[in-house]
Amino acid sequence: MTYTFTDDCIIGVEQIDEEHRGLFQLIGELHDMLALDFDRDRYDEICDMVERLKRYTVEHFRHEEAYMKEIEHPELELQRRQHMEFCEKIDEMDIRSGESDQLGLVNELLTYLVKWLYRHIIGSDLLIGKLVTVKEWKQREDCAFQEEYVIGISLIDEEHRELIRMLGEIHHTIAYDNAADKHDRIIDALKTLQAHVKTHFQDEEAYMESVHYDGLELHRLAHDALSTRLELVNMDGFDRTDEDELAEFVEFLTEWIATHILQVDRHIPAN
């Protein structure tokens, strides 16, 4: 597991990028401290570092949410819930609680922190400032595969083309189709897309493993972030009368996949 800020974590918002770098730096410092002797003489120092890290994270979330509110980012409420769940989780890990295995507890906290942070940045933060409003999205041209999406690996490029094609068809149905069974066809198409995303991630990870790509573990975390999001969505729960809710979800998927291709997949080496 890497404890350093990598270029694929850059979202293009200066303050947020700098605070993400700061978080990884603190995590790295804590990791380095644990590499030394973990004895009673250093126990308070390590506890203080953990508390500093928690405070920094909470402050970062406050700044990030304020920025998202300022730009009217449509995923703000989801981000708030994710931030809250994260804070609750790390609050549960009280290394001053007197448990006998404090070293194990701190290592558990470190592993959770870096995995969650990387997944959150790649899975959610990369979209900050990139999502359009539902009204703008419904008025734009159909989704289309762009040449800039080509990464030079045939299997992956073809699967990306198919995913974008499927999203384009769903977008067209939402924006222009007035048939009576429109809602049911959209839900069926989304379920099919969900299955294709799962298969694509498996194929992509198998390829990365075959070429011994050193970014596989972090790339898998990004995939896990979207997979978890999709698993939590009740496709049948979308209100038939609320077309904007469907449009928001499809727009999120489109932007996530496009951003992931451009900022993450492009680092995969061709065999």
Q: What does the mean pLDDT of the chain come to?
A: 83
Burial letters for 133-152: b for 16+ Cβ neighbours within 10 Å, e otherwise?
Answer: ebeebbeeeebebeeebebe
Give residue 50's pLDDT.
80
Give residue 160's pLDDT.
94
Q: 215-238: per-residue pLDDT in tens?
A: 888 788 888 888 888 887 888 777
| pLDDT of 115 over the 70 cut | yes
> What are the angstrom distances between the C-alpha of 266 and each of 129, 149, 170?
21, 8, 26
Stretch among 45-54, 62-71, 126-135 having the lowest mean pLDDT: 126-135
Q: 140-199: per-residue pLDDT in tens?
A: 555 678 888 899 999 999 999 999 999 988 888 888 888 888 888 989 999 999 999 999
Stretch among 99-103, 117-121, 254-258 having the lowest mean pLDDT: 99-103
| pLDDT of 84 over the 70 cut | yes
| pLDDT of 94 over the 80 cut | no
Give residue 258's pLDDT.
85
Of 3-12, 121-130, 154-163, 240-249, which has the strongest mean pLDDT?
154-163
What is the pLDDT confidence band of residue 132, given thresholds at 50, 70 and 90?
A: low
C-alpha span between 110 and 47 (Å, rounded)? 12
Give residue 110's pLDDT.
81
C-alpha span between 225 and 123 (Å, rounded)? 5
The larger pLDDT score, comparing residue 211 to residue 10, is at: 211
Q: 32-52: per-residue pLDDT in tens?
A: 877 766 565 667 777 788 888
Burial letters for 34-67: b for 16+ Cβ neighbours within 10 Å, e otherwise?
Answer: beeeeeeeeeeebeebbeebbeebeebbeebbeb
Task: Return the ∠ at Cα 157 (arms to 151 and 160), rounded to 5°.
Answer: 115
| pLDDT of 256 over the 70 cut | yes
What is the pLDDT confidence band of residue 63, given thresholds at 50, 70 and 90?
A: very high
| pLDDT of 98 over the 70 cut | no
Of 78-82, 174-178, 198-202, 250-254, which has the strongest mean pLDDT?
198-202
Q: What domains are defined for the chain?
A: 7-127 (1.20.120.50), 134-267 (1.20.120.50)
